Structure 1
């Protein structure tokens, strides 16, 4: 309902261009063509961004959410909009909210599943890479063994050709076979030693990579250290930063169902810390103005005189609200007057105001005196009037 007229507002479907939704700003190209940029998603669009609207199931109505968070209902048949929910849409809106909740839960589940699949794929890729390295290494070793055998066999043939052309006896053949067997055993022994050395190296690597027994708090601290080293900003998005974080062993120290929450918590705390540091490093305008009062204002100075004399001082300009400046000025004067004799200053004020003459009424004189701080320094109203009348008696 319209709070002023008490009527339900109705909007023309062909009205003026609506305000931009939250986060959108309008820009222009060098040729003058407009485009729109979303400061939240960092995306640009040539199409004018509109408000979010959803079709209400089983009706011709649309549920519209404005850029500033207000809701209204739009009838596509009559092309009218209302703020209040029509009674006939009550069940349909419940159905819409139910569908939205189901869609939200489904989307969250899909995101979790996708994150798990990505993590599993990354682990699988690492395992495949390790297997490929081992296979290539074995192939190279096998090629080396075959090459050694070939060289030794060639040498044996060459040696045989150098021997005199006599028929080989059974002893010669047995000796050659024995030599070849010993060489084969030696090669197998070397191969076995190489395999043992490789296994020992792998075991040492596993011992180094093995996760130490850490407390939950220590795991969280290492997780935060990982985020800090990767320069995660307060505005970072978990799904965007995930690929470059998940391969680090410290990322897996935290359970999967807590990683996103801890990531968002880190970003929030980092933003608060930056905001706090900025506020501490920035001097408040009010404090700058008070410094000016302390250094320049005297008890006999009036607001108009002070404003005219120091209006160009940077400390005077630091505080933008004139009424607030005047209030701080008067408070400063009162605090200083309390240290002196306000009655004597009040009498001097009566002598200073030329309009106060014999016969003037108190209520008229009071209007002339209220604009001076010395008048307010005497908090007792009766005391002000008594001093005023004593002054008139002296005239």
Structure 2
């Protein structure tokens, strides 16, 4: 090798590097790539030993790889979440994204919203969480990767040969780390991609509207709605929900306020009905008094047939007592019949619900009530049992008798053995 001969391409490389000060990152990378290509071409045509050329080519590949990694980092998706902080006393988390945006996520309901949920209004700790994006360190695996790419993966052999290849275990470890990172980011990415539930959005808008109207007025309008919809006094909130849920006035109160107002309305209406019933009975009794009876039938020969007024009044009062006893007996029988009908209806609903549970071949001893409820809640036999605690207790009694394998699994196993 003639060591006195200068490298003809060295000056162009230096010149290309010197002229990149005012260029954009993409233009700089392009200029460096052209310079490296020219240098590689020169080395290929020169009389340098093979090992020297391979060293230059290896360094050239390392530089190109570094430039590609830099481009990938620049194009990295900045919309992915970078931090998630739970809010004490609530089921919500404050989540920040890489582009400086903040939203709220509820892991229990898997709901994500941009607006602050009502239960976090007026909280100073939440104000702090949403005021500034927390500083997040870059992922260590990425640094390790970058170092490995520049130092380990392109490491040359002592004799200047090609770079050493990574072992299978090292490649598996890197792939596992990459997959774990991807799996970690996936649920939070789904939060951003999932559209906001219209019901949640409507509730949030209603919360803002409630602040503009006094509570007394909202309560009055809600009770007016209950009266207009014909809510029955002997009914429950769940049964009457279908009548009122689509009325705009339904959202005037929060969930707890709605139920409390409903219960108060039912009690008030029941008291009014009882008072009205007493008034009518008193009025009827007054109309049936002996004095009114005598003034109406005093000229009747049958009235005059009893000579003494005291005897007439005694006969009248005796008749009214007998009549009242008959009426009370009738009412008692009626109540007894209604009670028996309710008991039979409840027993029938219980039997039908147990039959519904028996039809579920996927249930095992380990099946949770929350899972089963989602499968059953649209069935009429599920709705017929009014008490949610009764449904859950019957479910638990049912699954206690089951094994660890579902009936469908046992049937499939028996079919395979045939």
- The higher relative CO (CA closer than 8 Å, separation ≥ 6) is in 2
Establish whether TM, by shorter chain, passes 0.5. Answer: no
Q: TM tier, shorter chain? A: under 0.3
Which entry has the higher C-alpha Rg, 1 or 2? 1
